[in-house]
Amino acid sequence: MMGFTGGSLISELASVGVKPEEIDAVFVTHLHVDHCGTVAHVQGDTARPAFPNATYSWTAEEQSHWTGSVMDSAFITADQKAYLKGMFSSVEGRFEPVKDGQALAPGLNVISTPGHTPGHAGVVLSSGADRAFILGDAISCPVQLTETEWSGLGDMDPKLARQSQEVVVREAEATGALLTAAHFPGLTFGRVLMGEGRRYWQPV
């Protein structure tokens, strides 16, 4: 997280035969470096997009937050600032801000879930009557399904984050939709179930 140098996304795509040039759309839930650290290759003063033929999307609120006064604050490290600056310059002309509900592709829509960061958003996959939520950091840990007062360690606005979370979780619970979040154990999908008067997490 601090001084991020890249994860395994590129190599995992390669292992299933997908080249970076083949990716045409990249959606990022929010601009914490553990979520956007593979958007660009940044070294010193040079930066290039990791997926040279893609458009890049996140919300306008997220863009305005991370290009605003936070870049002059002590909340983010010098390494993170350098990465974000390089990332912004590498996607210039390829960035397309997205809004709540917007379709990224057929059956793939943005869902606004602010609070963890000001413009945090996830995606909803739809197929017929079935739905699945990919929530980024809108919820940090399955224990938050049971402990409704607990917020995530990194939530910038914990109260708003809890409100966003409640809307999605209530819907997932009512409809039996699948749900996952970026820091859930094993990165697996699961369902929100009710038992003994409390919600709990049932991995699939």
Distance of CA 201 to the CA centre of its chain: 20
- Residue 37 or 49: the one with the smaller Cβ distance to Zn ion is 37
Each residue 121-140 as x (binds Zn ion by CB under 5 A) or -, in order, gives: ----------------x---
Determine the straight-line distance between the first and last CA of the chain, rounded to whole angstroms: 28
Each residue 60-99 as x (binds Zn ion by CB under 5 A) or -, in order, gives: ----------------------------------------
- Residue 61 or 137: the one with the smaller Cβ distance to Zn ion is 137
| Smallest distance from Zn ion to CB 67, Å | 17
Pairing assessment for the beta strands 130-134 and 178-180 based on DSSP bridges: parallel
- Residue 35 or 199: the one with the smaller Cβ distance to Zn ion is 35
| Smallest distance from Zn ion to CB 30, Å | 6
Is residue 155 at the binding interface for Zn ion, with CB under 5 A as the rule?
A: no
Residues 5-44 that bind Zn ion (CB under 5 A): 32
How would you label 38-76 residue by residue, b for 16+ Cβ within 10 Å and e otherwise? bbbbbeeeebebbbeebbbbbbebbbebbeeebeeeeeb
- Residue 32 or 199: the one with the smaller Cβ distance to Zn ion is 32
Residues interacting with Zn ion, by CB under 5 A? 32, 137
